Structure 1
């Protein structure tokens, strides 16, 4: 539980770092606790973390903190308490909408300075939309922002269109946003269209983004992103030209967007696909050297992958039938305690190393020379076969190197 800060805190005008500041709201001026507006004189802050933002009920109080005026601020973290700020039950729709509108106004007034390098929003922001300073063209002013994380957005139905205009953004994490069902082309729209005062710019959307994590968008079904290569004249025309690592977890996407498959994409090295319940195939993803697929129950095909792909890990993808186009495969990890037989695609691949985690029955048959299961993997030089149960990964193991 956060303890209120005594009044007089605002006199520490040379303070550089303030972590865990609990928001205290009391309209009685005679009280002895420090309120949000006492942050206003702290103009030298470099790092600031606030807790309990949901306690603020008036956007004027947030405005008095003057966060946007702190010209040295590099790191800002705003924490909401999920238990302290929840949406009401049915029958109180007007009250819910009012609460959400106030929440949106308050975050708007907590706009950071454009010199900010890292911004984290977490805990349970119940607004339906994210603030205007995350939308085009205002977002283009944040020229130093390198890392952005937003976690637990239960009511947001769409992502702001200005994130692609952030010229220095390297890491973007969006986590637990169950109301988002679709990500449209505006998310990775051309910054030449979105940026303020721009004319004929060739700047790429998300020009420096290296790491993208989209986690817990559990109702997300469609990602509309189709870079049209026939109209591309420069290398940077594709969205996210520097993307190195992409992680998608817990959603309903049935396929990856065509925009990922551009032949001009040379930097994407790691692709992690976890708990994509409707995903049926992965294909034409250039430059990837490491692929992780975990608990994708409808996945049937991994095809037309990059010839440089070296490492694949496949966990609990029971319908996978086709694995093709991996001539440089160095290691293959296959984990599934429910498998009764080895997949046929193992006969068509030749990794240097195979790690197999399976149930006892399959462990015994695939470890026995001359059996039909052993024949599927006998051409693989180094094999590490382990017996596991549903939740046990520490059972017997067998390894062989020809």
Structure 2
């Protein structure tokens, strides 16, 4: 899509009622929401996949333009996206490229979002001005995979994101009204100012009839943020499906504890991480560039440990307390030599681990 004469305009989409897959480019050029409304996207009852693309470099936001002009551009951008509401039959929705609105559209908010009963895949990418996520995403009844990437203005994710079942239910019982009830994979990547995730699913914050949020979550990946701790909601004893946890570049994270179902843990470049414990089913773990990690305990099922850090001068003491079947280690030449020499103090830390690969 492009508003210029070289590409088609939005209103030319109106008669295309049989569309199955639609990608729109150049949406930052649309300066009148009535043009978006004429596309009649919401009426295309066969549409399964919709991708909405913006080009961030076309905007004046954050480039020194007058404040009033910037606010006007943001308002227009928000109004246009509001009118590009997909049909309720949509299965795959992507928003990317540099949407500069301060908020996401009302059709992503409760209670409107519950009508999107077929939406399985959602990607929100490059949201430079959004300060909060809409509260309706948790109501999407079929959502399986969600990716939120490059949202630098978000500092906090509150309880509305994984709202109580009373918000999502609309009269349903707890077993079918859990927030994000079918979500299997969640990727949160590039939220560099994100410091707080308020989410309590622990028993002391729940009554017996309340369903936990994300009951089917299998894989959680968090990358590039300032979270100092993971939300208590992950530690609920009712959570049985979360098997993979990937934590990359969490600059303030200090501990990972008491997430009973995790089988695979990958932590990368978490400079303040000091403690990993209480992961009773953990089998496979990789630790990369976490120089302050001092405690690794209560991981009785640990089978494979991969440790990588070229800056290490000595092996961590926690290696004496864990007994994986296999240890793979990447280190500098000096540590390689000392840990490979039988009888040395470094070798003794790993001597009880039968299978070792040190590079």
TM-score by length of 1: 0.86
Deviation of residue 348 (structure 1)?
Answer: 0.4
- The question of whether the paired residues in 1 share the 8 Å contact of 2:60 and 2:70 is answered with no
Contact in 2 for aligned 1:86/1:126 (Cα 8 Å): no
Residue 232 of structure 2 corresponds to residue 237 of structure 1: no
CA contact 2:81–2:105 (8 Å) conserved in 1: yes
Q: Is the 8 A contact 1:221 1:251 kept in 2?
A: yes
Separation in 2, partners of 1:32, 1:239: 47
CA RMSD, 1 decimal: 1.4
Counterpart Cα distance in 2 of 1:116 and 1:170: 13
* Separation (CA, whole Å) in 2 of partners of 1:110 and 1:252: 33
The CA distance in 2 between the partners of 1:122 and 1:33, in whole Å, is: 20
In the alignment, the residues of structure 1 paired with residue 342 and residue 6 of structure 2 have an alpha-carbon distance, to the nearest angstrom, of 79
Equivalent in the alignment of 1:380: 353
In the alignment, which residue of structure 2 is the partner of 1:216?
A: 190
Question: Is 1:52 aligned to 2:30, yes or no?
Answer: no
- 1:357 corresponds to 2:357: no
Partner of 1:328: 301
Aligned to 1:106: 80
Match of 1:393 in 2: none
The Cα of 1:32 is off from its aligned counterpart by 7.5
1:35 maps to what in 2? 9
Q: Provide the TM-score with structure 2 as the length reference.
A: 0.96
1:90 is displaced (CA, Å) by 4.6
Distance 1:88 1:227 in 2: 38
Gaps of 5+ in 2: none
Equivalent position of 1:248 in the other structure: 222
Q: How does 1:3-402 map to 2 (within 5 A)?
A: 23-26=1-4, 34-90=8-64, 92-194=66-168, 198-199=170-171, 201-202=173-174, 203-230=177-204, 231-234=206-209, 237-305=211-279, 307-386=280-359
Secondary structure of the residue that 1:188 maps to in structure 2? coil
Query: Offset at 1:33?
Result: 5.2
SS of the residue corresponding to residue 293 of structure 1 reads: strand
Deviations along 1:337-393, whole A, 9 cap, x unmatched? 00000000000000000000000100110011111000100100100000xxxxxxx
Which gives a bigger RCO, structure 1 or 2 (Cα 8 Å, sep 6+)?
2
Q: Is the 8 A contact 2:96 2:124 kept in 1?
A: yes
1:232: Cα distance to partner?
A: 3.6
Deviates more, 1:221-230 or 1:83-92: 83-92
Cα distance in structure 2, aligned partners of 1:46 and 1:261: 41
Is the contact made by 1:192 and 1:201 (CA closer than 8 Å) also made in structure 2? no
Residue 98 (structure 1) shift: 0.6
Contact 2:22 2:49 (C-alpha < 8 Å) held by counterparts: yes
Contact 1:74–1:115 (8 Å) recurs in 2:
yes
List gaps (5 residues or longer) in structure 1: 1-22, 387-402
Q: Distance in 2 between matches of 1:366 and 1:228?
A: 42
Q: Distance in 2 between matches of 1:277 and 1:114?
A: 39
Quote the offset at 1:25 in angstroms. Answer: 1.4
